[in-house]
Amino acid sequence: MLAIAIALRYGADRLDSVVASTVERHGSDVTGTEVDVDGVDLALTAGRAHLTGLTVGNPRGYETDYAVRIGTASVALDIGSLAGDVPIVKEIELDGALINAEQRDAAMNLTDIQKNATADSGDATAGEPGRIVVERFRLRNGRVLLTSGHLSKPEELPLRDVVVENIGSASGGVTYSEAAEAMLMPVIAAARTAALERLRTVAGEAVSQAAREELEEEEPGLREEVDQEREELSEKVEELLDRE
DSSP 50-117: EEEEEEEPPPTT--SS-SEEEEEEEEEE-GGGGGSSS-EEEEEEEEEEEEEEEEETTEEHHHHHHHHH
Residues of the chain with pLDDT under 50: 1-3, 5, 11-15, 123-124, 126, 210-215, 226, 229-230, 232-244
* Gap between the Cα atoms of 98 and 65, Å rounded: 11
> What's the pLDDT score for residue 190?
92
Report if pTM > 0.85: no
- What lies within 8 Å, CB to CB, of 82 at 6+ separation is 12, 44
* Gap between the Cα atoms of 7 and 21, Å rounded: 9
Task: At 207, give phi and psi (nearest 5°).
Answer: -65, -45
Q: In this predicted model, what pLDDT tens digit does every residue of 57-109 receive, in sequence order?
A: 999 999 999 999 988 889 898 988 877 889 899 999 999 999 999 988 888 89
Question: Of 36, 16, 12, 14, whose CA–CA distance to 24 is shortest?
Answer: 36
Q: From the centroid of its chain, how far is CA 81?
A: 30
